[in-house]
A and B are shown apart, each in its own frame.
Chain A
Amino acid sequence: MNNRLKELRAAHGWSQGALADELGVSRQSVNAIETGRYDPSLPLAFRIARLFGVAIEDVFDDGEGERAAAE
C-alpha cells in the first residue's frame, strides 16, 4: 500500500519521533509505515488521517481507486 505519510509529516515540520508522540506509537512504527514495510490497522489509519485533517484516501492508496476510475 502506498502512502503520503512522509510528505504530510514534512509539510507539518514534524520529525518521525514527533509524529509518533502525536499518535502514541513508536518511532519505528512511523518509519515502517512511511517506508511501506507495514500497513497500519484501520483505526490507526483513521487516527493518522484525522491528525492531518484529511480523508483516509488522501493518506493511503491501495491503487484500486485509480483502477476502478479507469474502468
Chain B
Amino acid sequence: MTDVTYKEANRRYRRMFLPVMAVYVVACFAGPLALKAMGDPPDWVMAGIAVFTALPIAAVFWLKGRWLLETDEYTRARQVEAMLVGGGVTVCFAIIWGFLELFELVPNLWTFLIGPIYFASYGLAYLVGKLRGGRVVS
C-alpha cells in the first residue's frame, strides 16, 4: 500500500511505540497525583485528565493502523485476521457478560479489563495463526 519496506515499517512502529507507552505510564501516575494535589477540582478538569491519560492508547491504535498500511501484504492479512478474532472475542465476551450482569448472575466488570482482554485474545489469535502455518480463520 506504500513504498515503505517491511523492515522500515517495523522500525517506524517501534520508534514511536515506546515513547507513547512511556507517556501513558507517566500519565497514569501523574493524573491521580495532580487531582490529589488540586484537592477538589471541577468535573471538567477531572474529565480532561481522564481523557488525556487515555490518549496514548488512541495513539497506539493510530500507530498500529499506520504500520498495517506500511507492512507487507502477507503480514497485514495475518494481523487483520488476528485483530478481527480479538475484537470479536472481546465484544462477544462484553455482551455476554453484560447480559449475565443484567440478570444479576455475575458482578460488575471493571471496564479497564476490556483492554487486556482484547490484546490477549488478539495475541492468542495471532499465535494460533502462526501455529496453523499462517492461517487464523481460513
A-side residues, CB < 8 A to B, are 20-21, 24-26, 28-29, 32-33, 35, 37-38, 40-41, 44
Task: A21 to B71: give the CA distance in the assembly, Å.
Answer: 13
Inside 8 A of B75's CB, which chain A residues have their CB? 25-26, 28-29
The answer to whether A24 touches B135, judged by C-beta atoms less than 8 angstroms apart, is no
Please provide the 5 A-B residue pairs with the shortest distance between their CB atoms, ordered closest to farther.
Answer: A24-B5, A25-B72, A29-B74, A26-B6, A37-B134
Number of A-B residue pairs at CB separation under 8 A: 41
B-side residues, CB < 8 A to A, are 5-7, 71-75, 77, 133-135
Inside 8 A of B134's CB, which chain A residues have their CB? 28, 32, 37-38
**Given A37-B133, A38-B134, A44 and B73 touching (CB < 8 A)?**
yes
The answer to whether A29 touches B133, judged by C-beta atoms less than 8 angstroms apart, is no
Inside 8 A of B77's CB, which chain A residues have their CB? 38
The answer to whether B135 touches A37, judged by C-beta atoms less than 8 angstroms apart, is yes
Task: A8 to B73: give the CA distance in the assembly, Å.
Answer: 21
- B77–chain A nearest beta-carbon distance, Å: 8
CB-nearest residue of chain B to A28: B74
- B13–chain A nearest beta-carbon distance, Å: 13
Inside 8 A of A32's CB, which chain B residues have their CB? 74, 133-134
Q: Mind listing 30 A-B residue pairs with CB under 8 Å?
A: A20-B6, A21-B7, A24-B5, A24-B6, A24-B7, A24-B72, A25-B5, A25-B6, A25-B72, A25-B73, A25-B74, A26-B6, A26-B72, A26-B74, A28-B74, A28-B75, A28-B134, A29-B73, A29-B74, A29-B75, A32-B74, A32-B133, A35-B133, A37-B133, A37-B134, A37-B135, A38-B74, A38-B77, A41-B73, A44-B72
